[in-house]
Structure 1
Amino acid sequence: MTQANYLWNPPPVYSLPVRGIEARYPVNRIFCVGRNYHAHAVEMGVPVDKANAQPFYFTKGVATLVESGATVPYPTGTSNYHYEMELVVAIGAPGFRVAEADAASLIYGYAAGLDMTRRDLQLVAREQGRPWDLGKDFELSAICAEIVPVGNLGVLEKGAINLAVNGQTRQSADLSQLIWSIPELIADLSKFYHLQPGDLIYTGTPEGVGAVKSGDKLVGHIDNVGDIELTIGAAE
């Protein structure tokens, strides 16, 4: 086969470490679930009634991915830079139109994640009925810790999820408070996409989101999954 000749080097493969093995998890796509904890939906001014609603999603490009422990610059274009602590589901098998009962077979593992958000830009877009891209899909905005293989964990239905900023707890909830469970999310998302190994699903954030500034250190934890850390650097 003739080797392709590109005008410049193609983008690198983005990947994450996997606990207990040397091989890394290559990331394909990043899906994020909006308003998946009742209290967070309320604090955002858009309460959710599951009986009359469906999950909704936005995406982040793989180039937004950053490993836990990094220092990222305070982003341009915002004065209201927010954290959102989340459980991340790592997909390890292909699936399309998956039944909820079969959703667990697609899960490779879990990770702790941060969906960093330019909140002011997101809210302007929301008020004007425009896409959230400037508020959500920007450089260095998808932070993720190592992938923990599912092993005996099965489908996570409960467990503490929390985040501290400079040692002060800002978010504290339980995975049992997810509006749509992990199987429900996988089944629903697979109606619209052919899910593939390497897809990440950020499952939503609890209440307590807030702004950070340069110099702040974020430390998050999810029971049975692990920790995540991020430091906010100076603006570029």
Structure 2
Amino acid sequence: MTKQYIFPVAEPIAIPIKGSSLLFPIHRIFCVGRNYMAHAKEMGTIVDKTQQEPFYFLKHPSSYVPSGAEIPYPTRTNNFHYEMEFIIAIGKAGANITQQDAIHHIFGYGCGLDMTRRDLQAKAKDNRHPWDIAKDFENSAILSEIMPITQSGEITEGTIQLTVNDEIRQSSDLSHMIWNVNEIIEHLSTLYTLQPGDIIMTGTPEGVGAIHPNDQLTGYIDNISMLTVKISA
């Protein structure tokens, strides 16, 4: 018997794959917090890898925006920030994945922007509340197309950069991540059974800051991908 629903079921949300007509359907979007030491310091914290574990927050797949889009300045904020990030796209399910086996669970790579209502995040921190309304909202996950690992090989280093109106705001190297890709997959897979379609945004380097209507953002990661987005007036 065909199931009937009281309203139309949404189409799967999916990301283009470089060199393919197929799409990568998003299952979940995990985000790693404070994964570059210089960014942690600019946010007022110090990360001691020997004493701390990675931490995460999630964005709903409906927050996805493709590269090249124009998005509105969001509501309830006067301090809208960009955070340029390296993306891992998971293609094989697994739990308790070892670092040695992590590469076999990666479908591909990309880049993305974790857009943040920074004033709401600061208020949430002050009140010891969750970050959801600061991080998980419409148009807050701008993602490039996915480069399959079969085309790129394993990525452990490379320039990550963001410009706003052609001015460089963020520039670092993927090798500066506190927890590398294999460590993230190993740790996250002890908390969740990773599934095909999961996206992991691996954290942002230093240089985060506010943007305004009519700003044009362009980000790239060497030999992987680039993205663009404009903030509408």
**Normalising by structure 1, what TM-score?**
0.97
Q: Does residue 226 of the first structure (1) align with residue 229 of the second (2)?
A: no
Structure 1 Cα separation of the partners of residues 227 and 60 of structure 2: 20
Aligned residues: 233
Unaligned 5+ runs, structure 1: none
Contact 1:155 1:182 in 2 (8 A): no
Q: Which amino acid in 2 is paired with 1:112?
A: C
Structure 1 Cα separation of the partners of residues 156 and 106 of structure 2: 14
Cα distance, 1:227 vs. partner? Answer: 0.7
Structure 1 Cα separation of the partners of residues 128 and 100 of structure 2: 35
Q: Which amino acid in 2 is paired with 1:168?
A: E
SS in 2 for 1:151: helix
Contact 2:88 2:108 in 1 (8 A): yes
SS in 2 for 1:171: strand
Q: Which amino acid in 2 is paired with 1:219?
A: T
Contact 2:152 2:224 in 1 (8 A): no
Structure 2 Cα separation of the partners of residues 77 and 32 of structure 1: 22
Cα distance, 1:152 vs. partner? Answer: 5.2
Deviation by residue 1:193-226 (Cα, 9 ceiling, x = unmatched): 0100000000000000000000000000101211
> Paired residue for 2:105?
106
> Paired residue for 1:39?
38
Moved more, 84-93 or 4-13: 4-13
Cα distance, 1:46 vs. partner? Answer: 1.1
Structure 2 Cα separation of the partners of residues 154 and 186 of structure 1: 17
Deviation by residue 1:140-170 (Cα, 9 ceiling, x = unmatched): 1000010000015333111000000000000
Structure 2 Cα separation of the partners of residues 192 and 70 of structure 1: 33
Structure 1 Cα separation of the partners of residues 142 and 220 of structure 2: 13
SS in 2 for 1:190: helix
Q: Which amino acid in 1 is paired with 2:147?
A: V
Moved more, 153-162 or 102-111: 153-162
Q: Which amino acid in 1 is paired with 2:187?
A: D
Calculate percent identity across the aligned residue pairs: 50
Q: Does residue 58 of the first structure (1) align with residue 62 of the second (2)?
A: no
Cα distance, 1:11 vs. partner? Answer: 2.1
> Paired residue for 1:82?
81
**Normalising by structure 2, what TM-score?**
0.99
SS in 2 for 1:230: strand
Q: Does residue 209 of the first structure (1) align with residue 203 of the second (2)?
A: no
SS in 2 for 1:208: coil
Q: Which amino acid in 2 is paired with 1:97?
A: N
Could you say what the CA RMSD is over the residues aligned between the two structures, in angstroms? 0.8
Deviation by residue 1:6-54 (Cα, 9 ceiling, x = unmatched): 1101222000100001001111000000000000000000111111110
Contact 1:104 1:154 in 2 (8 A): no
SS in 1 for 2:92: coil
SS in 2 for 1:108: strand
Unaligned 5+ runs, structure 2: none
Give the 5 Å matches for 1:153-232: 153-232=152-231
Give the 5 Å matches for 1:118-137: 118-137=117-136
SS in 1 for 2:17: coil
Q: Which amino acid in 2 is paired with 1:225?
A: I
